[in-house]
Structure 1
Amino acid sequence: MANSIHLPDSFLNCIQQTLPSHLDLNDFITSCQQPLRKSIRVNTLKISVADFLTRIAPLQWQLTPIPWCEEGFWLTRDDESTPLGNTAEHLAGLFYIQEASSMMPVSALFHLWKHQDNNQVVLDAAAAPGSKTTQIAAHLNNQGLLIANEFSSSRVKVLHANLVRCAATNVALTHFDARVFGTWLTESVDAILLDAPCSGEGAIRKDDLAMKNWTLESVHDIAACQKELIQSAFYALKPNGILIYSTCTLNQYENQGVCEHLLTTFGDAVEPVPLTDLFAKAKGVATPEGYLHVWPQVYDSEGFFVAGFRKKQSAVPDKQQRHRGQFPFRLASAKQANGLFSYLNQQFAITPDHLPGDVYIRDAEFWLFPTAFSQVQGKVKFDRVGIKLADAIKKSFRISHELAMSIGRLAQNNVYELTAEQAREYYMGRDIFLEQVDPSKKGELIVHYKGSPIGLGKWVGPRIKNNYPRELVRDNHLFVE
């Protein structure tokens, strides 16, 4: 991609007016023409940073810590014959491929807001494909409730797949224009990340078409939408709650201008909170207002803008409404829940302590909802809440892939450790044939690779029947050990 990105003169004139005096426009142009370096974030819902570094040591990956994210690293691999997304560690959900600058908004959120209990609610207003959503879930350690909203229907499926892979279990999915939340969830949310749709000027290093349709007029149109989004988010925020506003763009219309709109609209009810102490050299990328404005040439990254605000006092819209929709679930009875827990304990030695939350039923499906969901139930229609646990099958159960991925590491019974060759076969949707057969093994099992759960199987005589979801099957360029 190097030297292939066209930067319109009108865009460069806009950048020249915004660029801090200590930075050079030619350096900006040169940086934009360079390929974006890879970066990853360790998923601490599945593995600690220390254990991850130990696991990948034989792979000889070169990792450089990202200053604003303890779990983030820039990555260099000498051997890139296997796509990063097809490595065993990625498929198992041990890390997320995430651009370094995009880790900053979530780090800022938890720098300003302290998660205190399991009843708190966080809103990720523009969630897909899930990098920041899974980062928030990891910071929450799957406690409380995380509402992940995505307006684009085509991206919701990708968002959900990433949540499952990364074992995020405290998430409720919605599919709306985020401008509705101010009236639907008025003062119902403790913390909000609004990573707003933007013109994407900061992302041009990974998208050579990002500037194809750039005009100043389109920037103003986008900024007008962003002002409505941030106003709605502020209405949804509880008093004393924290709002993080971020974009991957560079102009002041979509960044400082939107923040100024928030301050002007809400006056004493809103307080900007400086982010100059977010990391060691944050002051070097801070605006006079205390916002962070990362330029591509400073950290050899995408451009990004991040601002933090606290809601000092109540502020509600003139009209409030609810969008309840139908709620097809019912709370499971103690007998129904205990029946499922008895099966999980017998088959896998998984106990109710491993599944904090409330069990709900829809038809023959058993689901686990975060306890905090009761705070917002009936206010908004949700596409999906928590995780599906199992289907009732006659007098037994069939557990879900997402349950296996989320707590499979805790199972003590009916766990099978695959070899590298078997794991590749499994990811390609093929059954695993066994040299030795244990006739006592029956029913479902959870398959592991290098100690991490990767999916489900079923004992069938001399083989393990493959129950990996068909839509996830890979057929080439898989990892080699």
Structure 2
Amino acid sequence: MTKQLPTLFRDKMIDLLGVEEFEQFLASYDEARLFGIRVNTAKISKEEFLAKSPFTLTKVPWAADGYYYEEGERPGKHPYYHAGLYYIQEPSAMAPVELLAAEPGERVLDLCAAPGGKSTQIAAKLQGEGVLVVNDIHSDRVRALVKNLELSGVRNAVVLNEKPERMLTVFQGYFDKILIDAPCSGEGMFRKEEDMMQQWERHSVQEFAHMQRELLGQAAEMLAPGGRIVYSTCTFSPEENEAQIAEFLDRHADFHVVPVDQFGAGHPDWLRAPWCEEGAYSPRALAEVAGTARLWPHRLKGEGHYVAVLQRVGASAGAVSAEELKERVASAGDADVGVKKRGGREALRGKGRVEAAPHAVSLEPLLAFAGELLRSEPFAAARLVCYGEHAYASPAGLPELHGLKVVRPGWYIGSLHRGRFEPSHALAMGLRMREAKRALSLASSDERALRYLKGETLEVAESEIIRDLEVTKAAKGYCLVCIEEHPIGWGKWHDGMLKNEYPPGWRWN
């Protein structure tokens, strides 16, 4: 492995680290790879997961919900993975969101979000409260982003596929927290992914530095006073790390670095020729850059990363004023849930708002489904919107998104077609078993759990269908299928058979 490192990269790291530390750094490339999972606390507590985990786990020191697992174990092949109970994530990659410190109720942006590992980590911090906007400019990567959000059961996320500069007019000063996991030269991933070395040789550091500079400036415009930006890369290059932060500080006097002390320090001394322009940065910027953090593979159990925490001065944005909401939030008509309901269709009354785009189909079938199968909690405080045949629960307090490329304007509920409502897989994954009036809970060891994930029809006795007999006496119809009370999809039960509604593209091959 070490012999394959690009010569220019080796020479640069020797210059930056010095010969002695470079030898320690180089030796890390011959060490075994490290593997991590992060417990999805939006679905299960750490204590509950650890009590049932089939894996050998060791705590990741810097991640509240992160654990190393042993090489040879296959967490991606366990039913718990398909229930969204954890996310497989490189341990160092868990650090930026921990430093972002998102809290329930905040408005958070993940600016370069695909494939979604950090987005799902932020979502777990928000616990379903507030607004999470996730964006990626690459349309081919957004599909994986959407799937990971659905798998994790995220309810309050909006997915965009947009250029950041086009987001400025909509989100000017809107967010409390912004994560920029910036596109970079990827030097920190050489040990994990050897093909990154070939990409490094094809793309210049300066090319990435230009993109990073723009992203930082655009994020600053979308951040509210008192807000926080976390900037991260998986590269060692000072041009993409310390130089970006120093330049940003000199352009934005209302920001300062929040020092990070649990990792290696940033290196203002590396902002010199031939890597950076000497004397280009103010004494303040150089001093603050020392408070940024470097994660080194020869100093900790993880790959190479860089992280900077940038705090904007001013009072925290806090709650949105009534005047601001009036300007920002899309009009939803004259009254909450203005659709008349008949016979038990009260599940959504007064819970958020319902509206339909022009020429959209009626929402009546959705309301009927909710009244039959769901309790009221899932859509509380959301704004139900319908685009064509597709219905979403859009987070409250979201600005108008006109003019932006919106992939998902909220939690995808399902489709309405010819007077019928078909619930989405995203709805199933975002529910809790207690929120469904009919459910089936299988043990992970039950062979039917694997058969369900393969798309097979199951034999299920009526007595196994969990339901509140005072509310829902019938077992027939849609049923929320769970593994140990954690949803994995829909089924339709009738006369001892459960028709499988698990999406073909998700099935266990």
User: Does the 8 Å contact 2:155/2:410 carry over to 1?
Assistant: yes
TM-score by length of 1: 0.84
User: Does the 8 Å contact 2:242/2:266 carry over to 1?
Assistant: no
User: How far apart are residue 394 of structure 1 and its match?
Assistant: 6.2
User: How far apart are residue 103 of structure 1 and its match?
Assistant: 0.7
CA offsets, 1:307-347, max 9 Å, x none? 01122269xxxxxxxxxxxx999778432654645643432
1:205 is aligned to 2:209: no
Residue 161 (structure 2) aligns with: 175
Closer/same/farther in 2, CA of residues 357 and 24 from structure 1, 3 Å limit: same
Please point out which of 434, 457, 471 is paired with 1:410: 434
Residue 76 (structure 1) aligns with: 70
SS in 2 for 1:156: helix
Closer/same/farther in 2, CA of residues 39 and 217 from structure 1, 3 Å limit: closer
Residue 457 (structure 1) aligns with: 491
User: Does the 8 Å contact 1:188/1:376 carry over to 2?
Assistant: no
- Paired with 2:149 and 2:14, the residues of 1 have a C-alpha distance of 40
Residue 478 (structure 1) aligns with: none
Residue 504 (structure 2) aligns with: 470
Residue 339 (structure 2) aligns with: 335
Please point out which of 245, 254, 259 is paired with 1:274: 259
The alignment-based identity, stated in percent, is 30
User: Does the 8 Å contact 2:57/2:68 carry over to 1?
Assistant: yes
- Paired with 1:412 and 1:251, the residues of 2 have a C-alpha distance of 51
- Paired with 2:265 and 2:88, the residues of 1 have a C-alpha distance of 24
SS in 1 for 2:228: strand
Partner amino acid, structure 2, of 1:448: C
- Paired with 1:203 and 1:283, the residues of 2 have a C-alpha distance of 18
- Paired with 2:166 and 2:388, the residues of 1 have a C-alpha distance of 30
Residue 54 (structure 1) aligns with: 51
User: Does the 8 Å contact 1:182/1:236 carry over to 2?
Assistant: yes
Partner amino acid, structure 2, of 1:335: V
Partner amino acid, structure 1, of 2:256: E
Mean Cα deviation higher: 175-184 or 426-435: 175-184
- Consecutive unaligned residues of structure 2, counting only runs of 5 or more, are 268-288, 316-328, 341-347, 350-363, 466-472
- Paired with 1:168 and 1:461, the residues of 2 have a C-alpha distance of 33
Closer/same/farther in 2, CA of residues 91 and 413 from structure 1, 3 Å limit: same
1:265 is aligned to 2:251: yes
Residue 97 (structure 2) aligns with: 106
User: How far apart are residue 192 of structure 1 and its match?
Assistant: 0.6
SS in 1 for 2:146: helix
Partner amino acid, structure 2, of 1:431: T
1:129 is aligned to 2:126: no
Residue 321 (structure 1) aligns with: none
- Paired with 1:363 and 1:370, the residues of 2 have a C-alpha distance of 19
- Consecutive unaligned residues of structure 1, counting only runs of 5 or more, are 277-281, 315-326, 476-481
CA offsets, 1:116-150, max 9 Å, x none? 6x3x4211010011110000011111211111001
User: How far apart are residue 390 of structure 1 and its match?
Assistant: 3.4
SS in 2 for 1:147: strand
- Paired with 1:457 and 1:329, the residues of 2 have a C-alpha distance of 36
Residue 390 (structure 2) aligns with: 365
User: How far apart are residue 14 of structure 1 and its match?
Assistant: 1.4
1:240 is aligned to 2:274: no
Please point out which of 429, 439, 444 is paired with 2:455: 429
Closer/same/farther in 2, CA of residues 87 and 216 from structure 1, 3 Å limit: closer
Residue 320 (structure 1) aligns with: none
Please point out which of 398, 402, 408 is paired with 2:422: 398
Residue 227 (structure 1) aligns with: 213
Residue 322 (structure 1) aligns with: none
User: How far apart are residue 362 of structure 1 and its match?
Assistant: 2.7
User: How far apart are residue 99 of structure 1 and its match?
Assistant: 0.6
- Paired with 2:147 and 2:162, the residues of 1 have a C-alpha distance of 19
User: How far apart are residue 194 of structure 1 and its match?
Assistant: 0.5
User: How far apart are residue 28 of structure 1 and its match?
Assistant: 1.1
Partner amino acid, structure 1, of 2:51: T
- Paired with 1:233 and 1:90, the residues of 2 have a C-alpha distance of 33
User: Does the 8 Å contact 1:35/1:205 carry over to 2?
Assistant: no
Residue 300 (structure 2) aligns with: 299
Mean Cα deviation higher: 92-101 or 211-220: 211-220
User: How far apart are residue 468 of structure 1 and its match?
Assistant: 0.5
User: Does the 8 Å contact 2:38/2:88 carry over to 1?
Assistant: yes
User: How far apart are residue 216 of structure 1 and its match?
Assistant: 10
User: Does the 8 Å contact 1:418/1:448 carry over to 2?
Assistant: yes
1:162 is aligned to 2:148: yes
Partner amino acid, structure 2, of 1:38: F
User: Does the 8 Å contact 2:378/2:435 carry over to 1?
Assistant: no
CA offsets, 1:203-254, max 9 Å, x none? 1111111112435970122112211111111122122211111000011010
- Paired with 1:205 and 1:235, the residues of 2 have a C-alpha distance of 36
User: How far apart are residue 18 of structure 1 and its match?
Assistant: 2.8
- Paired with 2:367 and 2:202, the residues of 1 have a C-alpha distance of 58
Partner amino acid, structure 2, of 1:293: R
User: Does the 8 Å contact 2:111/2:181 carry over to 1?
Assistant: yes
TM-align CA RMSD: 2.8
User: Does the 8 Å contact 2:456/2:500 carry over to 1?
Assistant: yes
CA offsets, 1:91-112, max 9 Å, x none? 11000001111111100010xx
SS in 2 for 1:296: coil
Please point out which of 31, 40, 44 is paired with 1:43: 40
Mean Cα deviation higher: 173-182 or 127-136: 173-182
User: How far apart are residue 30 of structure 1 and its match?
Assistant: 1.7
Partner amino acid, structure 2, of 1:307: A
Please point out which of 56, 64, 82 is paired with 1:91: 82
1:26 is aligned to 2:23: yes
User: Does the 8 Å contact 2:40/2:86 carry over to 1?
Assistant: yes
1:289 is aligned to 2:290: yes
Closer/same/farther in 2, CA of residues 217 and 441 from structure 1, 3 Å limit: closer
